[in-house]
Amino acid sequence: MLAAIGGGRATGSVESWSLSRSRPYRDGSLSAANASVVECHISITGPILGWIRLRCRDSPLARDPRLLTFLRSALDETDDKRDGAEAEGDRSWNVQCGGEDSGRHHLDGRSLRRYSGAHRLEATTESRTTITPATPTNQALTPAEVSAIRADFPSLEQEVNGHPLAYLDSGATSLKPRQVLDAEREFYERHNSAVHRGAHTLAALATERFEDARATVARFIGAAEDEVVWTSNATEAINLVAYGISAASARGGADEVSLRAGDEIVVTEQEHHANLIPWQELAARTGATLRFIPVDDAGELMLDRLDEVITERARLVAFTHVSNVLGSISPVERIVARARQVGAITVLDACQSVPHMVVDVASLDVDFMAFSGHKMLAPTGIGVLYGRRELLNALPPFLTGGSMITTVTMERAEYLPAPQRFEAGTQRVSQAVALAAAIDYLDAVGMHRIAAHEATLGARLADGLAGIEGVRMLGPAAGAERVGLASVDVAGIHSHDVGQFLDDRGIAARVGHHCAQPLHRRLGVTSSTRASTYIYTTEEEVDRFIEAVADSRDFFGVRP
């Protein structure tokens, strides 16, 4: 069983403006013999302005988004770069991390931030906060820790074709731990009810769990709760933005979310179809022109063309954070900076990044971001759209119906502010609750440690595949920064045949064009075989994949 591998979080609750509570939490090794219980003391001495209703029961700091913004900035040594982030200027704090003063930070009230990895957090009226780091957050998972994690995943207990299952298709959808399965089942067994309606106890409990989950997601990505919109998946989230913009354009909506003939929409040649086709359709509906940032022969973005493609006529720039084909990581700051120069909205496809690394919307400075729960240990049917509050409220609703209105007459309707204006009808409550459980699981391990683990696996994949004659790995060469994902073209063998050969050895991998036909076409192939790793993947499974790819050439009689 998982036991807070990554340093853990303090727990507690807030009963008053002044708080001094202590709760133990488990930290360190998974070994029962080595596990230690340490005391985390959190002292908040008021008054601290801007308290919100407590929704995250695991955090006494969750009531003050400005304090969490400050703490996250202190831990990550980054500033909130979003427009207006320091406009409120309620308070400034001197921050001391590990004994070194990291400067002054404004508590701006714009986002809830995670603060995992701290043993001691103290906020006082003297404006001095001391943060003593826990165990290093960038240390890769040990084999023993990965083994303990794997015990939480029932799917890994099975054999496929006489071999232990090696699940290397997490980029398509992840496996689910018992903790997530239990959370969804518990909701149906104990709290099942519609949310935001009804005066009975179950309705209140269901609503609380639903909004608790929203707060958990907000904290995880560094957003405010009203900037988190529930969707069915990332595809719906991106379409919500695209259709909202076209609706605003048609009815003379706010200029910042409207397009007209001659405006330009910019994407990249790396995009998943879900972050390409919605913009093609938006261009067709509005008369805008679609342009793209090209890739070179290795599939990497040609950043020297950035200013040429993102011109003064660009109104929207949509791009992927991590390529689902190449595993390469986009230079978000550079692309966003250029978009800001010309006044364009930015939309980030974070499906392959949020599950695997620390993603903070304030640091990235994007306007919209979409990701899916099923790729990060949660069930299918739940996705998230992050949007800047002012932009969300400028968009007309994507779907209309019940639960998203203030007043309805026979002639017209008035809509609630975001996020409720985008959440028409009965919501996916159990899936949201399970997504929160998945985030709790990932937080307990530590996102920095997960990223380090997968970077190690990605390097192992790249190095191993590079040495196989007749096998071409798409994307950056070995040694380049990448996530734990690699796609290969085996000369003379169709990817579906490679996939069946792998399956005979108990290896689950993705085959085909991975919903990225333009990128495959640019790289001169019609399809590829992709291995994608996650928190539960072992080095031995990566080696099995490399060996099987090498053996496939002999099996199919393909010679150099």
Helix (H) or strand (E) holding 167: strand 166-167
Bridge partners of 478, per DSSP, are none
Coil, strand or helix: which one is 82? coil
Residue-wise burial string across 123-136, b where 16 or more C-beta atoms lie within 10 A, e elsewhere: beeeeebbbeebbe
Are 488 and 511 in contact by the 8 Å Cβ rule? The answer is: no
Which residues, including other chains, have CB under 8 Å from residue 323's CB and lie 6 or more apart? 270, 299, 330, 352, 475, 516, 519
**What amino acid is encoded at 537 in this protein?**
T
pLDDT at 145: 96
Nearest to 2, CA basis, from 183, 149, 219: 149
pLDDT at 560: 62
Which residues, including other chains, have CB under 8 Å from residue 434's CB and lie 6 or more apart? 180, 181, 183, 184, 187, 373, 378, 379, 382
Residue spans in the chain of domains classed CATH 3.40.640.10: 227-427
Are 375 and 382 in contact by the 8 Å Cβ rule? The answer is: no
pLDDT at 110: 29
Measured distance CA(444)–CA(252) in Å, rounded: 47
Angle, CA of 277, 281 and 282, to the nearest 5°: 115
Measured distance CA(177)–CA(222) in Å, rounded: 24
Residue spans in the chain of domains classed CATH 3.90.1150.10: 147-167+446-555
Torsion sign, CA atoms 146, 151, 154, 160: positive
Coil, strand or helix: which one is 253? coil
DSSP 8-48: --------SSSEEEEEEEEES-SSTTT-EEEEEEEEE-S--
Q: Name the active-site residue from 40, 56, 351, 515.
A: 515
Average pLDDT in the chain: 81
Alpha helices in 446-516 (DSSP H): 447-466, 495-504
3-state secondary structure 114-129: CCCCEEEEEECCCCEE
DSSP 281: H
CATH class of the 227-427 domain in this structure: alpha beta
Are 74 and 363 in contact by the 8 Å Cβ rule? The answer is: no
Are 135 and 8 in contact by the 8 Å Cβ rule? The answer is: no
Are 347 and 441 in contact by the 8 Å Cβ rule? The answer is: no
CATH class of the 147-167+446-555 domain in this structure: alpha beta
Residue 498's φ and ψ, nearest 5 degrees, are: -60, -45
The pTM of the full predicted model, rounded to 2 decimals, is 0.78
DSSP 366: -
Residue-wise burial string across 184-203, b where 16 or more C-beta atoms lie within 10 A, e elsewhere: bebbeeebebebbeeeeeeb
Is 515 an active-site residue? yes
Q: Which residues of the chain have pLDDT under 50?
A: 3-4, 6-70, 72-78, 80-136
Measured distance CA(349)–CA(331) in Å, rounded: 13
Measured distance CA(27)–CA(36) in Å, rounded: 6
pLDDT at 255: 87
DSSP 391-457: HHHHSPPSS-STTSEEEE-SS-EEEPPTTGGG--SS--HHHHHHHHHHHHHHHHH-HHHHHHHHHHH
Measured distance CA(558)–CA(498) in Å, rounded: 12
Q: How many CA atoms lie within 13 A of 125 on its CB side?
A: 6
